[in-house]
Structure 1
């Protein structure tokens, strides 16, 4: 038995590496879309499923695996999750057609769902209350590092070695984490046997599948009757699930309502969703803007965001330590305020023809804000959670975060597409005024459906279907092409500003809601360190 077994910082390193794996693939695959389409002859619909299936499976099963961690032990479920994720990564790299890649990505989502809820549970069971904020700050810093490494590493690997290496790089890391988990992580048990609510699992999974599928695919299917039927089914299943859970509150419910009797946990659940809406609201339009409007490569676009995320990663443990000393309420409010302020600054300066360095001051403010959010947010949420409920609490909180990601992606995408359609029409009308009368109508008509392709990520995009008639002079063709590019660039910038306003408002709501958090001295933690017994079985 290793003398390092159960060492809090060794345990934290192990679970943080596992958490890093799941977040890395959440973002790295996005920049490899063109390569996957070319290599596997995939349609855009198929390659979008490569991205979405991972989030769908992850969001749908987090509550279930959080509770399974309570039943089987968080260490065991963490090991299972890492093993599943690593094997699925190999299958992703070996995929020979889109269907195989989608199935393997679903396996990655399954492994991530098993792994992620256990990370917070193990931190609670390993660290005493007075050091938990610092540990959760490190855990939060992992999100910042993964955010940097995802687009940057994905772009580098896709360019230099091929998209399959985005998945193969997970294999040695997964093997190392698996070995470390077996040797270092203790078997944390609370001495209370648990039972799994099977019907609750089925209802919760069905609810989240319908919700995440509907929200993820709604924009693509133009919010047709089938999508609204799915969302209505999710609402109905949610009601049935809540009624079922209400009848089991004196037994072993999958979703213990007692969690939400703690005001701090309830408020942090809302904040977790708002933070994810803010994150997707930042990265989705900004990454498209950097590549489609400014013409940056995927790698360069990732590097533009890197300094802000480095600042976030460095500050996150410090913010967690400060939350240990003075409570997370005011650290969290300051972080959310800076996050919103940085995004507002970014909204003000975006324009056509900007250089990469012009964004750095605003992005650094964003990075400082994000660095002050994740550790304190989780620390405040879990401060009063009993150890025996840690798995359920972690699963619910992470499910709400991922649901926030899906809702944010759908809402931000819908606003961007709606505003882009209008702004392209306006810009096309302005540019057409300088074109010969014979092609003005055809030029403006070419942008009628441009917003449908406006969310594609790629450099040099114009968004127009206009083709000059045969015999058009070369000089005029060149002029029309420049006009089309100008329409898209200025149209996207005009659409981006109201789009960024949505996440800014949502983050501000999260900041204000933190006023409801109780001051630290008024809350006596129920998860004191002596309430947890950590075994050392292998």
Structure 2
């Protein structure tokens, strides 16, 4: 092969990898959000209460969140391709089995397995892109990955609503099978085998940290969910929440002492970076919670069909897609603090609009406008805030920094969903409604009050996110020095990097 032909092959390979990771994004992120619109249908099909139906969402998110750091470290030890393909195979098999389940317990177990599969896919997507793309194109490759992951996540309700209305809830799992098989087959032939010499050697896996992190999240999610099922007067949910707090303290103690921790706590001791992490967590919490509020209010209060509900929720996806590239343009003149704060402010305006829409009868025009603001705000916010987290760090610490952000992002999605479902579930119980199966007749206004309370909580969270973003300090205008240090063990000031150079 001539040098020119060899160069052409090398130039095509990164884009082939991006196609593989895009299929992985569609499989994992659409799967994680499409089931939101199916909760009423699944609740009715199995005749289960709301607290049990909630686990169709929580089980997936819990296993994903608790294992994503674990699999990120394992990929360094066993190889990215092997773990990525294993995740695709497990996701495809679990989806096929879920399409034919006969009881809710089995479905919840399969949702857990899907979460395990997603945890082995998501961290490897970013790493494989970083391995494949040359430095001059890396920012472009990672920014495209950000956009595809965000759009896939937001498109979930639209796809789920269309499939649910046409073919029933089982189709939401069955549709994963051809996409999963295609992604697996393409990955086998496209992804190159890694050089064993490049794998991490001599690293001790942090078994204690992994176990404690999983236990913390499991106890927290179960405790929140059981508050709805067992009632506020029962002592058991509070014992689970206390256990979660104890596990968290033990986890932090272990991470301070082990040589190679899952989380480098030194990264969250700097004020600016810690506030950027906090902002990302709060924005993600509100983003996941508003999807639950909108989807369930449309179906339970307004009597909308799954397809209509998915169309409303798709306003978020479209605005994210349009707004995401704007952050790169704005970063030419304004700092990451300014751009991310502007995105947080726009999202806050949207959450206020959602609350007002619930107060005045849920007019569709106001709801659409509010969701466009929320999606646009998140699209503008994400990349510059992530750049602030990654900026000023040497290359060998950017991976763990982004790993912490990923854990916070997924933890916020899980908590936002669980707490919102708890609030809505309690309002349903107060109105003597035991599930999501049918539209709710609410003459007393108890259920509507629950949705309004959840929407008000979103305003509080979004306000806190804006305050954190504004408080982290730094310049308002962009400042790009001609040269910057190439290696530092720590960073105390934000160094601008391309807002498209980091992935979710």
Q: TM-score range by the shorter chain?
A: 0.7 to 0.9
User: Relative to 1, partners in 2 of residues 1:452 and 1:213: Cα closer, same or farther, differing over 3 Å?
Assistant: farther
Distance 1:327 1:75 in 2: 37
TM-aligned CA deviation for residue 98 of structure 1? 1.9
1:206 matched to 2:186? The reply is no
TM-aligned CA deviation for residue 132 of structure 1? 5.2
Distance 2:53 2:455 in 1: 28
Worse-matched range after superposition: 30-39 or 186-195: 186-195
TM-aligned CA deviation for residue 338 of structure 1? 0.9
User: Relative to 1, partners in 2 of residues 1:380 and 1:183: Cα closer, same or farther, differing over 3 Å?
Assistant: farther
1:498 equivalent in structure 2? 456
Worse-matched range after superposition: 68-77 or 170-179: 68-77
Within 5 Å, which residues of 2 pair with 1:62-211?
A: 62-127=68-133, 134-186=140-192, 187=194, 192-193=200-201, 194-211=203-220
User: Relative to 1, partners in 2 of residues 1:362 and 1:98: Cα closer, same or farther, differing over 3 Å?
Assistant: closer
Distance 1:102 1:415 in 2: 21
2:501 equivalent in structure 1? none
Worse-matched range after superposition: 177-186 or 491-500: 491-500
RMSD of the alignment, in Å? 3.4
TM-aligned CA deviation for residue 108 of structure 1? 0.3
Cα deviation code 1:358-408 (max 9, x no counterpart):
433332222221211223333333345555555544443222112212332
2:307 equivalent in structure 1? 299
Task: Check whether the contact 1:16–1:142 (CA below 8 A) recurs between aligned residues.
Answer: yes
Distance 1:319 1:84 in 2: 36
Task: Check whether the contact 1:384–1:526 (CA below 8 A) recurs between aligned residues.
Answer: no
Cα deviation code 1:116-151 (max 9, x no counterpart):
222333344445677655544433323442344322
**TM-score under structure 1 length normalisation:** 0.77
Alignment counterpart, residue 430 of structure 2, candidates 450, 459, 466: 450
1:235 matched to 2:245? The reply is yes
Alignment counterpart, residue 56 of structure 2, candidates 33, 45, 50: 50
Structure 1 regions of 5+ residues with no counterpart? 422-448, 464-483, 528-538
Structure 2 regions of 5+ residues with no counterpart? 1-5, 489-504
Task: Check whether the contact 2:158–2:311 (CA below 8 A) recurs between aligned residues.
Answer: yes
User: Relative to 1, partners in 2 of residues 1:284 and 1:46: Cα closer, same or farther, differing over 3 Å?
Assistant: closer
Cα deviation code 1:401-450 (max 9, x no counterpart):
122123323444556677x69xxxxxxxxxxxxxxxxxxxxxxxxxxx53
Distance 2:184 2:479 in 1: 37
Helix, strand or coil for the counterpart of 2:54? helix
1:444 equivalent in structure 2? none
Cα deviation code 1:291-326 (max 9, x no counterpart):
223222121122123233212123324424655886
Worse-matched range after superposition: 153-162 or 143-152: 143-152
TM-aligned CA deviation for residue 508 of structure 1? 2.1
TM-aligned CA deviation for residue 69 of structure 1? 2.2
User: Relative to 1, partners in 2 of residues 1:105 and 1:7: Cα closer, same or farther, differing over 3 Å?
Assistant: same
Task: Check whether the contact 2:22–2:145 (CA below 8 A) recurs between aligned residues.
Answer: yes
2:497 equivalent in structure 1? none
**TM-score under structure 2 length normalisation:** 0.82
Distance 1:387 1:191 in 2: 17
Distance 1:525 1:221 in 2: 55
Distance 2:474 2:418 in 1: 28
User: Relative to 1, partners in 2 of residues 1:226 and 1:169: Cα closer, same or farther, differing over 3 Å?
Assistant: same
Distance 1:175 1:390 in 2: 32
Task: Check whether the contact 1:335–1:372 (CA below 8 A) recurs between aligned residues.
Answer: yes
2:374 equivalent in structure 1? 366
Cα deviation code 1:178-215 (max 9, x no counterpart):
23333444548856523312222222222222223223
TM-aligned CA deviation for residue 340 of structure 1? 0.9
2:491 equivalent in structure 1? none
Worse-matched range after superposition: 97-106 or 263-272: 263-272
How many residues were matched structurally?
475
Alignment counterpart, residue 461 of structure 1, candidates 436, 440, 445: 440
2:257 equivalent in structure 1? 247
User: Relative to 1, partners in 2 of residues 1:496 and 1:208: Cα closer, same or farther, differing over 3 Å?
Assistant: closer
Distance 2:167 2:129 in 1: 37
Distance 2:411 2:463 in 1: 18
2:290 equivalent in structure 1? 282
